[in-house]
Structures are given as structure tokens and as C-alpha cells.
Structure 1
Amino acid sequence: MPENTDLLVLAGAILTPTALAGAPAEAGFVAIRDGVIVGVGTPDAADSWIPRAQRVVDLGDATLTAGVVDAHIHPVAGIGMTRGVDLSEAETLEDAQQALAAESADAGEWVFGWGLNPIVFGVAAPSMRLFDRLPQDRLAFVQLFDAHSAVASGAALARAGVTGAETFDDASSIAVDAEGTPTGYLLEHRAMGRVTRIVPALTFEERRDALVAILRGMAETGVTIGQMLDSSDPDAFDLFDAIEAEGELPIRLRVSPMAVPGSTEADWAQLADLQGRHGRRWEVRGIKLMIDGTIDNGTAWLREPDTLGESTESLWLSPPEYAAAVEYFHARGIPTTTHAIGDRGIEFVAATLNGLERTGVPHRMEHIETLPDDVLDLIVEAGVSVSMQPTHCTHFTRADHTDNWSRRLGDERADRAWRTRDLHDMGVVVALGSDWPVAPYDARATLAAAMLRRPAGRVDVTPVLPDQALDAPVALDAHTRGWWRSVGEAGGTIEEGMPAYLTAFSANPLTADPDAFATADVLLTVVGGDVEVDRTAVTARG
């Protein structure tokens, strides 16, 4: 007998586990009560459910999938990281200089930019050459795309009191020339913090509105859940509470605060105490760590130096302290996920996780950018999951190795880039995400990049290591169920008893051309049983 339900969704194709396994996707319905899927069936069976549903959404011919999850985002930190002009499309230094000059015409005291690819500097390191079109006394700060480095103007460095002689309790650094004068290039978070601490702050209301817009944008591309891998902004929880005082967060957030390099057991205890703090659509669960920085700015941890002699050490000045942190959280049943980009960093993290007692606490690794076979085997042995960002590969590297990332690694290591297919085929749980604001958060483009190994819509671009492409069912599973598996929870499938997170597209991601799917309409998102995005009426009128 059909039950009373809060929501009934009708769709032309429902991607149940059998459809992902290769069976034809069939039309039908999904019934939801109290945030849980309580019925999945055929169109004929839907007739008896409709009278008992408080709300019915008819998607027509559209395709309903399990809710898309972005496994790696920084929505609160991204408020500050995306101030000013978007430089992600700048292809030359002149492009960036002109964009900053145009931005300065309407900017206040400070000129901001973000998303800049260091490739615009050619073989040279990023420097204050970026600001050659600005007056020398202009305060300016530009975040590079990797979110691990920035360039500040001479005036900004002077106001912040930066001399170039600063030292840090991790591997952060301030680049200097042969005379010891800062070049403007700031590597890693503590070095950037020497300047960002003097940047005029946005008001709380501005930050609240910006966060709503960011999360709303994510929802409109199909995202229903995001894992926020930091809580460095002290007002993060206050922002969540303020939004929920007036409405709902547009997506569910799982917040994993960071145990930063150089932190102590006292710091870890404070992070442990945060576990379980929550609102209606957000909760603190898990811990984020970082073993290294990025290849692009020479702060990754490689087995052998990069071609510039850099990327030779961990961000933790004493790597065993990282292992001690992981063991601390593991012993308390707290999941961790670790940023690991260079081959030596990945190896150290995998070995650390492999040495933990198997107690069922789930652990994960982020990024996995250059991966030797023996380290892949170690990840498999450790039994941990991975979180991968397909657009990092497709947006920031090139098949001919002329990009900054590949040049620094050299051909052999660059040919081990983002081995997503190999990880999956070896039985490793793979979750997909964007790492926004490092790369765009559009879930459709992320899925397309995972299948194409090039940016969606750019048929002129040669794919990067196309043998690492994921088939459509694997990519969709990684962007839905993969996250749930990676955090040790049941969900991410359209089955009775599963949490009700759903996404509907105008095209079927299993059968549509990936380039075309990247521009498909997102018609519906359901977050914990509640309709958050509903564009069915808009589409019908259009």
C-alpha cells in the first residue's frame, strides 16, 4: 500500500543502481518522506502514490540521478579568495596587467585579483611585474589559481611590514631576489597571511550574502552536498547560523576543519571538541590535513626535486608530527582527509594511513597529482579512498607538457598525472570534486572533464592522458555515491531507505555527449528531502 509522502518526483529516466550497472534507465517515480526515499517504481505504480503526496514534481523526459556531491570545496574561504577581478582567463602577462589596470579604475585603495595561472610569467617565477601598469604606490594583491600562493605589490608589502627575512613554523616562504629584497611572490598560507591580515575586511552582512550566492550557484549546477575542507575563517559557523536564521543553506555542508602544519596536541584537542557541532544543513565532521603544497609553486613534496630544484620537503617541518596528528584523530574515531600532491607526499600519507589499526574509521587522500605505480599499490594496501579534481588536470595542464605543472615535473612524472582510471580499476573508492575556488564548481563540467580529460566544449584541446578517462557510469557514481563511500556512510543511490538527495538534468549523463551535457539544464535539486532548485516551470515556459 503506498504511503503518505512529502515529495513525489516523476522522471523520464531514473538512474538507479541497475541503470548505472548497464541496464536501460526507465521512467518512473521516487517517493520521499522525512528526508528518506521510501519508494521507487514505474510510471503505472506512480498513479497510486500521487494522491498521497504533499508535493509532486513532474520532470517530463528529464533524467533523475542521485544528488551530486562536491567532495572538496572552500566556500567560506573563497569569499575572500575571489575578491576583485577574475584572472583565470588571462593567457599572457599583458592580459593580466591590463585586467588589473582596468580593475583599478573603479577599485578603492586596494586592487584585487584571483585565479591567475603562473604560466603567464613564462619560465620566470611570479613577481611584481604583474603590477607594471599600476602606480608604484598602489596596494595590490593577486591570488594565484592554486590558492597556495599570491603576488603582492611593493606598496602592500611595505604596509604589511614584510621584509623578506620572515620565517615560519611550516614551509611557507617569502620569495626574495639576490639582494634579499621581496619579489612580491608569497608561497603558502602563512606567508600570504602576512599581507591578507591588513586587507580591509568585508562586513559580516557582505560575507553572509556572498556565501549564500556561492552556495546557490553550486546548487544551480546540480550540487546537493559539499565537503568544506577548512574552517579557517573565524566567523564560518556564525555565517551558517545567520543564514539558517532566515532560511536554509542551498546545499548541505560537511565541514572538516584543518589541523595545520606545526599545530600541537592542544590544537588537535580543540578541533576534536568541534566534532558534532551542527545546524540544520551543516555539521562538523572529520579533519583536513596537508602534507605538502603544490607543484606549480614548488612546495609539493617530491621524491626528487623538480626541474627548478624545488618541491623537496613536506609542509610539516617534521613529518612525523603529521603522522602523530593522524594517529590522534584516528584513536578518537575522527575521519581525516589529507591534501597530498607530490609523489613523496602521497607515499608518506599512504604509509601513515596503512600503519593505522583497522578500526573502521574512514580516511581519504586529496588530489593525488603524480602517482608512481608502487605508491598506487600502497594506497590500495592502505584501503583508503581518494578525492580527485578532474578540472585541475584539464584546466591547468597540457598534453604537450608546455604548462608550468608539467615543465616543473618533467615528462616522466607528468605522465603520471591524475591517474583516476587506474585508481578506480584497482578498487580504490574515488570521489570527485572541484576544490572551488581553485577550479569552477559546475558539476556538469566536472563530470565532462572526468570523461574527456580536456575542458568541456574545447574540442580543439588535446586530451591529457586520455587512457585515464572515466566511463560515464563510473564518473557519475564517483560524483554521487563516491563521496558517501569515502566518508563511510550509506547514500548516493536512488533506492528505498537511502537519504533523499537528488539531481535532475535535461540530458542523461550516461548517454549524452559529454560536451553537450556540460550545458544541459539542471531542473531540480533535492537536499535531504526538500526541493531546493526547481526549474521545471521555467523550462516549460521556455
Structure 2
Amino acid sequence: MTADLVIVNGRVFDGTIRTESTAVAVIGDRIVRVGSDARVLELAGDTTRVVDASGGIIHPGFVDAHAHAVFAGVERLSIDLTSAQSVEETLALIRVGVESTATEWITGGGWSHELFPMPTRHQLDEIVPDRPVALSDAGHHTLWVNSKALQLAGITRDTPQPHNGHIFLDDAGDPLGYLNESAAELVGRLIPPATDDEIYAGLLNAQEYLWTLGVTGWHEAILGEYNGKADCTPGYLRALAEGTLKSEASGALWIAPGLHRDDVSALVDRFVELRARNADAGFSTSTVKAMIDGVPHGETAALLEPYCNHDGFTGEMHFDEETIFAFVSEMDAAGFALHLHIMGDRGIRVALDAIEAARAANGAGPRHHIAHLSMVQPDDAKRFGPLGITANIQGLWAAPDPFLETMIGPERVLEGYPFRTMLEGGAELAMGSDWPVSPADPWLAIHVTVNRWAPPPPGLALPPIPEGSVPQTLDAEHQSLTLAQALGAYTSGSSALVLGRPGRVRIGERADLAVATADPFEFAPEQIMSVRTAVTVVAGEVVFQA
């Protein structure tokens, strides 16, 4: 028996613990031996590819449990503003993008609310006055548009404010060019959706980029038309048919906001048909996604207590409670796992009550997961384990957020992202990025999950951290996870949840592996930020080597 690939001189993290093993052997797409260098090299022959891990950790490939990979890839191929560190850099990237875009509509995204707390149409009008511009924020819940886009959408000072959205106005009472949630859809529905070819190209671009980060699988968090964006399912089906999708991916069928109770049963029937059709093509879509509320940054998350800047205003949910209880119960009964976006503590409580009711009515069922978890009351955090709900965490977000603090106050900020309480309450953890809402690099997210502060952008020094304002210790009060817990959530935890397989480094498992540039278990926690991916292996094939 001769191995096709051996990785030696590392240290194996098997998906749960850091083991004594230092090497892995692969034949075809399967792991056939895990052990010492000498033991694994027994399988090496003349045709074996040997990879030297140089002391780095060898671990299961990262699985992103919440990503919008196709949207991100399409955006990377348009105007991508995520790298900008200043107002000037953002505007410069827009100018370059406009010059290289031949289509009528100019689109892209990734601008920062910290740089543009309230962007205006005038800033875009100075760059391009004669073509419509629509740029999503980094969170993709807000559009920054120019005057031409407002004109085409018919948005004026007299346009009624939509439900679950806001058209921001300037001091004169005219639209500012800043639209969030459902207001963004007034423009979004006019933007020509990406073509099938653009979706396909975006998927392959995303796959290749994720390989550079050690990501070997992911969960596409929205399959369906969303805010003017086309359904990306055809891209996956084409890539599977042509054999170009080498990574494993699953997806969530999209429940659009505004669903009514009377339409739930018909939606379940349609999703059952889609699930079967996609499964025949090799694409697992046994999950359904719904946004129960919005985001606290836009004051659209549903809270138990009011926002700081509004007397008595607590935000709104995207569905009435009767409808939430109905689709949770009926989707559960049909065997769909629920993937729920929730950022407010009131939204969390309603969803937990709905899942509890579904369990009582239907008995044991699929493992549901709730993503983001930025505001969860302590008693509600302890309900995840008993209800069999996986905490789908976005670890990178669990860092101090001065902008959010102005929305909900310092006390609620420090109580957010209660990962430790959930874990100790018996909840299983998975981790994802929500890319392109935030960077897709798992090591950055793991750093924040362990340390509860974010590393600085490249080239910038870490700002001073005010004493008492940032949880940095590993005690339960501060909700940090250990390195092993965080790395396990981003590998075996996510794999089990969204790919339906263990995601471990052990004999017989699919050889989806990554090699890090170092062994972070030898580091102080604050040094985790320096780790990067050196090698990525998908189904036994080396797809990336730094």
C-alpha cells in the first residue's frame, strides 16, 4: 500500500484534541494512517507527494457554517471595498471600479459603518452623476446609493417609510442616499441580478479564495432571490455537474421576510420538492434559512429593552409570532433543519419558544441552529443544549464594538456572544464567518473567540484597550472559549452540522485537511492572530500551498 500524499513534521489536531501524532497519510480521498513521522513514512513510495508541515498544526479543513460564498465571489469580481481602511481609500476604490465598469448599474460592497456612519448620495454623485450606483455595506443590510439610483427607484421626500426599513432623510427632508433593510429593496429590486455565468464565476472565485484560508467546505446561507440578488442554486448545480466544485457545500433554502401564516404549508411543499431535486444533483439543501430580525447597528434587531437613542423603540421582527411558530413547526415536521439569523434578545426568545413548541409537537427532529447570537439573555443561553440547538457562532464579531455600544449601551455589549454559557449548558458549537459580511479567515475568528478582542488591520498598531471594557480572561463570566474548543467548533463542529459528517483527522475519513504555519497550542493566546494557512487539501488533493 503506497500513499498518494503524506504530511509529516507537524502536530495533529484531530477535530477535538491536539494529539501526539505528527503525520497523516492519504490514499485517494481518504485518510489511511495517522501517527508518527516514521510510521506514516512507511507508506511513502516513489510517487508519493510529501508535504513538510514545518511544525505547524495539521487539522481538519475548516468548514464555514454560515457563508454567502457566491455573493462574496461575485462581489470580489465587482467593486470590493472591504480592504479600505479610510474614507479616502474607499472613495478611491469606487473611482477605480467605476472606470472599469461598462454596465449601466455600478454595484459592489463592503464599505464600513465606522468610516461612513451616514454616507450620502452627494459623495457618490461627485464620482458618478450619470449612472446609478448601489453599494452594500459590510453587513449587507444597508445600501449607499447616488441620486440617479434614487431617481430610478422613484424615492423622494414623499415616499412612505417601508415596514422593517428606513429611508434616511437629510436636514432638508430629502433622501440622503442611505437605505437599510426593506428600504434597500426599493433600489435592490431594480438592479439587474447576476447572470448564471457571473454566479458560476463567483462560486469558483470564492472556492479558490477559501482554499487559501484552509476552508474546505461551507454552508451557503441563502438559496433564493434576496434583495435583488439572483438565486445562486444554478451555480452550484452547474459546478457539481461539471466537477469544478471540489469542496463540499450544503445550502439553506430562503424564507423571505413577510411570509404569512396561511402560506406556510405551500412553502413547505415547495421546499420538499426543491430538496429532492437538488439532492438528485448531489447538492444537500435540507436546511431552511430565515431572518427573524435585522441588525442592531441599523436598529432593526428585535430587543427586549429599548435602543438607547429611541424612547421605547425595541425594533421589529420580520414575521409575526404566529407565523414563526407555524413555519418552525411545519419545517421541523418535514425534516428541515432551521438556520435562523437572530441578533436581538427578543428574537432569540421567540425562536427558542417556537423550537420548544415544535419539539413538543413533533418529537425529536433535525438539529436546528441559530446564528450570530449577539444578544442572548443568560437564561435563554442555557436553553440551547436541552433543546438540541447548535450555536452557529460568528466568533470574529465577539470583540468590542464602539458603534454598537451607542445603539444598545455598554452593559448589553459586554453580555453579548455568550459562547461559554451555551457550551456549559450542553449546546454544540459550530462556527462561520458570514462572509462577505465579515472576513472569511478562520484564524482571525478563532483569535477573537479566545481573546475577545480583534487584531488590528494589516499595517496598523493595536489600539489601547480601556481597562474593564474588554473581556480578555478565560473565566466563564467573560465567555471566552479555549483554543481547542474554538478550533473544534470551526472544524468538526461545523462539519457535523452542515455537511453531515464528522470532519475528523482519523483513518477512513475524507481527506479534507489544512496545515497551519505554526502550532498555536505552543503560543500565548494573544499570538493566535499570527497563524495563517500553509497548505490546504481537499479530498486528498493539495489545492493550495503558500
C-alpha distance 48-279 of structure 1, shift in aligned 2 (>3 A): farther
Residue identity in the other structure for 1:143: S
Aligned partner of 1:183 in structure 2 is 176
Aligned partner of 1:67 in structure 2 is 61
Distance 2:255 2:344 in 1: 19
Aligned partner of 1:248 in structure 2 is 244
Deviation at 1:93, TM superposition (A): 5.3
- Could you list the per-position Cα deviations for residues 270-290 of structure 1 after superposition, in whole angstroms to 9, with x for gaps in the alignment? 122222414887432211111
Aligned partner of 1:292 in structure 2 is 293
C-alpha distance 47-287 of structure 1, shift in aligned 2 (>3 A): same
Aligned partner of 2:206 in structure 1 is 214
Q: Choose which of 252, 255, 260 in structure 2 pairs with 1:259.
A: 255
Distance 1:530 1:302 in 2: 47
- Could you list the per-position Cα deviations for residues 136-159 of structure 1 after superposition, in whole angstroms to 9, with x for gaps in the alignment? 555221211111111222220111
C-alpha distance 248-107 of structure 1, shift in aligned 2 (>3 A): closer
Aligned partner of 1:271 in structure 2 is 271
Deviation at 1:47, TM superposition (A): 4.5
Deviation at 1:408, TM superposition (A): 0.3
Deviates more, 1:70-79 or 1:460-469: 460-469
SS at match of 1:441: coil
Aligned partner of 1:318 in structure 2 is 320
Deviation at 1:48, TM superposition (A): 4.2
Structure 1 contact 224–251 (Cα < 8 Å) conserved? yes
Q: Which runs of 5+ in 2 are unaligned?
A: 473-477
Matched, 1:225 2:217: yes
Matched, 1:508 2:519: yes
Structure 1 contact 92–121 (Cα < 8 Å) conserved? no
- Could you list the per-position Cα deviations for residues 120-139 of structure 1 after superposition, in whole angstroms to 9, with x for gaps in the alignment? 345xx554354363465552
Deviates more, 1:432-441 or 1:228-237: 228-237
Aligned partner of 1:409 in structure 2 is 408
TM-score (norm 1): 0.85
Q: Choose which of 327, 342, 351 in structure 2 pairs with 1:340.
A: 342
Structure 1 contact 70–479 (Cα < 8 Å) conserved? yes
Residue identity in the other structure for 1:448: H
Aligned partner of 2:12 in structure 1 is 15
C-alpha distance 165-332 of structure 1, shift in aligned 2 (>3 A): same
SS at match of 2:211: helix
Deviates more, 1:459-468 or 1:491-500: 459-468
Q: Which runs of 5+ in 1 are unaligned?
A: none
C-alpha distance 479-343 of structure 1, shift in aligned 2 (>3 A): same
Distance 1:311 1:228 in 2: 33
Aligned partner of 1:530 in structure 2 is 540
Deviates more, 1:108-117 or 1:97-106: 97-106
Q: Choose which of 350, 353, 356 in structure 1 pairs with 2:352.
A: 350
Aligned partner of 1:119 in structure 2 is 114
Structure 1 contact 429–482 (Cα < 8 Å) conserved? yes
Deviates more, 1:407-416 or 1:194-203: 194-203
Deviates more, 1:268-277 or 1:437-446: 268-277
Query: Which runs of structure 2 are paired with 1:107-506 in the superposition (5 Å)?
Result: 107-108=101-102, 109-122=104-117, 125-131=118-124, 133-134=126-127, 136-163=129-156, 165=159, 171-176=164-169, 181-188=174-181, 190-233=182-225, 234=230, 236-263=232-259, 264-265=263-264, 266-276=266-276, 277-278=278-279, 282-309=283-310, 312-357=314-359, 358-394=363-399, 397-398=400-401, 403-456=402-455, 460-462=462-464, 464-466=470-472, 467-487=478-498, 489-506=500-517
Distance 1:100 1:15 in 2: 44
SS at match of 2:190: coil
Distance 1:212 1:83 in 2: 11
SS at match of 2:506: coil
Overall identity of the aligned pairs, in %: 24
Residue identity in the other structure for 1:59: D
Report the count of equivalent residues: 518
Distance 2:120 2:353 in 1: 37
Distance 1:64 1:10 in 2: 8
RMSD: 3.2
Residue identity in the other structure for 2:430: A
Residue identity in the other structure for 1:383: G
Matched, 1:45 2:56: no
Aligned partner of 2:22 in structure 1 is 27
Distance 1:166 1:504 in 2: 54
Deviation at 1:517, TM superposition (A): 5.1
Distance 1:462 1:30 in 2: 45
Deviates more, 1:305-314 or 1:367-376: 305-314
Distance 2:355 2:221 in 1: 19
SS at match of 2:422: helix
Structure 1 contact 390–446 (Cα < 8 Å) conserved? yes
